[in-house]
């Protein structure tokens, strides 16, 4: 039999149900999405102008690097929560010079009021890698930032071993031991990156490849003889050097020493040119770098990245994303993507 057309009452009911239910999942867009996209553009302009990629990466890593997986609760566990902007953490010895990086981001706090410090710091790092020619990191946002200095972690490890509340140290102390108590660099890397932060050997080697950009300074880490400005610079970090991927002039502040000659270009030269770095007094190669091509478990991964930049980029992007989310509390819980 033929189906009768719906009565006006039934049609009205269906219409009301659709208006209330069919589009219920389409909530108003989060205002942070628009601000995040705008911030991304501003950061690209900032980095292209100031050549500040390395210090912005360092700021984000040192914010995330306080994370300790053995400690429960936020923000006690540390991690990517923006705490580095407060003096208790900014004043850690390992964070010397990072107030400059925070200053670069200060201008965006009022411009983008819905965004947290934790998100701004981590976005700046990801954009810095991309602007230097590295992979685009599949980031998510919505990190909640701590709001006061008393939410910062202490300067020493709070669980398991005494030192290293943050990232590993490149060289042992005067007693031949690293701050965590390890006597060798490979054990030190695994104490900090694996026991404390939860990274695998592969992720340790991939993250170490970020040394393809950046420098160390006598006035900051004290681990190299090269300091601020041209008079104290290595031959690869003078203001006249061309180190950008696009071949344009500009290095930011001259000085210090780098692991690679083109230290504003993110590529796999950290892995392919390590012998050159070891033999050149104007380049860096610390015990924590050397162990990556000597340790039996690290070496195959190191050589894989020397042979394939694509493999390095793929693994680095995943490890960077993981680092950027350590200890983070997201609102909404699944985060925001742009």
Residue 215 and residue 331 in contact, taking contact as beta carbons nearer than 8 Å: no
Which run of H or of E encompasses 257?
strand 257-258
Q: What is the pLDDT of residue 27?
A: 58
* CATH number of the domain that residue 279 is part of: 1.10.520.10
What is the tens place of the pLDDT at every residue in 161-199? 777 889 999 999 989 999 999 999 999 999 999 999 999
**From CA 229, how far away is CA 238, in angstroms rounded?**
7
Q: What is the pLDDT of residue 157?
A: 80
225 in any annotated domain? no
Q: What is the pLDDT of residue 335?
A: 97
71 in any annotated domain? yes
Residue 131 and residue 48 in contact, taking contact as beta carbons nearer than 8 Å: yes
182 in any annotated domain? yes
Residue 159 and residue 69 in contact, taking contact as beta carbons nearer than 8 Å: no
Q: What is the pLDDT of residue 56?
A: 98
Q: What is the pLDDT of residue 308?
A: 98
Q: Which residues of the chain have pLDDT under 50?
A: 1-25
**From CA 335, how far away is CA 338, in angstroms rounded?**
10
291 in any annotated domain? yes
**CB-based contacts of 220: which residues, under 8 Å, 6+ apart?**
96, 97
326 in any annotated domain? yes
**CB-based contacts of 13: which residues, under 8 Å, 6+ apart?**
none
Domain that holds residue 274: 31-150+173-214+259-330
286 in any annotated domain? yes
Residue 224 and residue 218 in contact, taking contact as beta carbons nearer than 8 Å: yes
7 in any annotated domain? no
196 in any annotated domain? yes
Q: What is the pLDDT of residue 28?
A: 65
Our count of domains for the chain comes to 1
What is the tens place of the pLDDT at every residue in 193-210? 999 999 999 999 999 999
Known catalytic residues? Answer: 62
Q: What is the pLDDT of residue 26?
A: 53
Whole-structure pTM value: 0.91
């Amino acid at each position: 039999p033929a189906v009768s057309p719906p009565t006006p009452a039934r049609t009205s009911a269906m219409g009301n149900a659709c208006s209330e239910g069919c589009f219920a999942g389409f909530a108003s867009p989060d205002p942070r999405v628009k601000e995040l996209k705008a911030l991304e553009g501003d950061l690209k302009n900032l980095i292209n102008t100031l050549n500040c990629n390395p210090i912005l990466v360092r700021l984000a890593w040192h914010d995330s690097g306080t994370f300790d997986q053995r400690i429960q609760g936020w923000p006690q566990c540390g991690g990517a929560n923006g705490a580095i902007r407060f003096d208790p953490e900014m004043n850690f010895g390992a964070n010397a010079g990072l107030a400059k990086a925070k200053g670069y981001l200060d201008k965006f706090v009022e411009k983008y009021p819905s965004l947290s410090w934790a998100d701004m710091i981590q976005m700046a790092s990801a954009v810095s890698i991309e602007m230097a020619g590295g992979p685009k990191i599949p980031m998510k946002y919505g990190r909640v930032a701590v709001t006061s200095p008393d939410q910062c972690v202490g300067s020493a490890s709070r669980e398991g071993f005494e030192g290293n509340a943050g990232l590993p140290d490149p060289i042992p102390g005067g007693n031949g031991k690293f701050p965590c108590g390890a006597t060798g660099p490979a054990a030190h890397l695994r104490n900090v990156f694996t026991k404390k932060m939860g990274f695998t050997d592969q992720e340790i080697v991939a993250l170490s490849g970020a040394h393809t950009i950046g420098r160390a300074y006598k006035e900051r880490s004290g681990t190299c003889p090269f300091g601020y400005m041209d008079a104290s610079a290595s031959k690869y970090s003078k203001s006249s050097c061309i180190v950008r991927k696009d071949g344009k002039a500009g290095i930011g502040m001259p000085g210090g020493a780098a692991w690679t000659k083109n230290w504003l270009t993110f590529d796999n030269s950290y892995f392919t040119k390590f012998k050159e770095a070891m033999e050149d007094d104007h380049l860096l190669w610390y015990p924590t770098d050397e162990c990556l091509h000597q340790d039996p478990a690290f070496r195959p991964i190191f050589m894989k990245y020397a042979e394939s930049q694509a493999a390095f980029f793929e693994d680095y992007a995943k490890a960077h994303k993981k680092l950027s989310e350590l200890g983070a509390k997201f609102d909404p819980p699944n985060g925001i993507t742009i």
